Each structure stands twice: as C-alpha cells, then as structure tokens.
Amino acid sequence: MPTAGFLVIGNEILSGKVVDTNSPFLAKELRKIGVDLERILTIPDEIDIIADEVRTMSAIYDYVITSGGIGPTHDDLTMDGVAKAFGLPMVLDEDLCKRIEDATGDHFNESMRKMAILPKGAGVQESGDLWFPLICVNNVYVLPGIPRLFEAKFPSVAEQMTGIPVQLKRVYVKTFESEIASYLHDLLEDFDELMLGSYPRMGEEHYRVLLTLESRDMGYLERALEALLSRLPAEIVHKVE
C-alpha cells in the first residue's frame, strides 16, 4: 500500500500556542483512502530543518504532506525549505501572482506577492473553489496550516492518491484490559494480519475497553470479529459496531 509522511511546520505548534488538529484529521482521511500514514513530525520554521526533513521524507514515502508556513509573513519559510530540499531556485510564478492580485484587489502588496514565489517547476493545481491553488513539488504537497483551509485543500490531494481503504470494527468491553489480554493474544495467533487495538477508557459508564479490529479485507475482518466474539464471554460485551 502507498505510504505517507506528514510534516507539521510551525514554532507556534512547538510552543503550545496553537494546537495541531491537522494531524488527526489527516490520519483519518488517509486511512479512508488506503494510504498508510507512517510518520508525523513537527518542526520549527527554519529553512535548513525544513529542507532536511522534506528531503528525507520524500525519499522514504510515496507521498509527503506539509502544513503551515506558506503565508505572507517573515516566518513563512516552507516554500524556501522545499526548494532547498531539491536544490531548486525560487522564482516568481507570474500567473499565480496575477491570481493573487485579482483575489485580493486593493489589499495586494509585496507581502502578498511573496506567496507567488515558488520552487522552480512546482506544480500549481486547482483546489476546488479556493483562490490559492495546491502547490506540489515532486511527491511533496504543500498545504496551509489553518485547519479550515487544510481540510478544504485535502480533497485535491486525495484525488491523486490510490490505495485500498482500511475497514474497521469496534467492540466495547465491560471488563478490564488485563482480563481480556489472553483472548486478544489467541486471536492474533489465528489472525496474524489483523490490526488489533486495545484502548482502556476511564470515566465511561458502560464499558472499560474499546477494541478495534482493522483490515483491508472485509471478509477477513468479519471472520476475525466472529472469532473474537465467540471467545469473549457474552456478558462482558457491551456493543459491537
């Protein structure tokens, strides 16, 4: 299956001034389309660090997605970092500059013009009805950090990815995790390709543990679920989804 790495860029994330919500959103969306997200890394707004991590991820993963650092201010350095990662000069994209000017009207200034300076050869792709396009350099997709914009742009990235979606079943159990550990171990002995998660829950009224069973093969998943339910005492199962 295709793989992805996610690079979260921003001092504001590392300092705790802003909470990163793009990572959980991306993880869920990639799972839906069958792309395995294998790494999430948060780094500061420093060109050399951005370049090093983009270069590394680009070589390892099929897709790299970045968030943050593409606005008009002094600390928006992602494009510079991506350019350096691939040894590309930064050049003004005249068409994009005109597009930004048309979109911003009287507010257009040199700071806005900065947003049209891209790594040479970067792909400029339409992104729904958003005025700023999706920028792609090799296998790296450069997205904004603002969650609303990140989420709005992601479908344009997803259209270019292919994979087999992961199917999910949930089992809510009313007993402690330690009391069902042996059942889970035995299940994995028989279904060694099953992605099995066990998550204790505190403060829940009706259950103590959430079990997740995942597979790209629905038939395999259903057989694993049936096997688990046949082993668990019926009275400890709160519900199955």
Catalogue all structural domains in the chain, each as residue range(s) with its CATH number: 3-158 (3.40.980.10), 167-240 (3.30.70.1130)
pTM: 0.89
With b for 16 or more beta-carbon neighbours within 10 A and e for fewer, the 109-146 pattern comes to: eeebebbbebbeebbbeebeeeebbbbbbbbbbbbbbb
Q: What is the pLDDT, as a whole number, of residue 39? A: 98
For residue 128, pLDDT over 90 is answered with no
Q: What is the pLDDT, as a whole number, of residue 104? A: 84
Evaluated on CA atoms 47, 52, 55, 60, the torsion sign reads: negative
Tens of pLDDT, residue by residue over 17-43, are 999 999 999 999 999 999 999 999 999
Choose from 18-27, 68-77, 103-112, 128-137 the range with maximum mean pLDDT: 18-27
Instruction: Give the mean model confidence (pLDDT) for residues 115-128.
Output: 92
Q: What is the pLDDT, as a whole number, of residue 111? A: 87
Tens of pLDDT, residue by residue over 142-176, are 999 999 999 999 999 999 998 999 999 999 999 99
Closest C-alpha to 61, from 145, 138, 167: 138
| Average pLDDT score, the chain | 95
Phi, psi of 160 (to 5 degrees): -100, 5
* pLDDT > 90: percent of the chain: 87
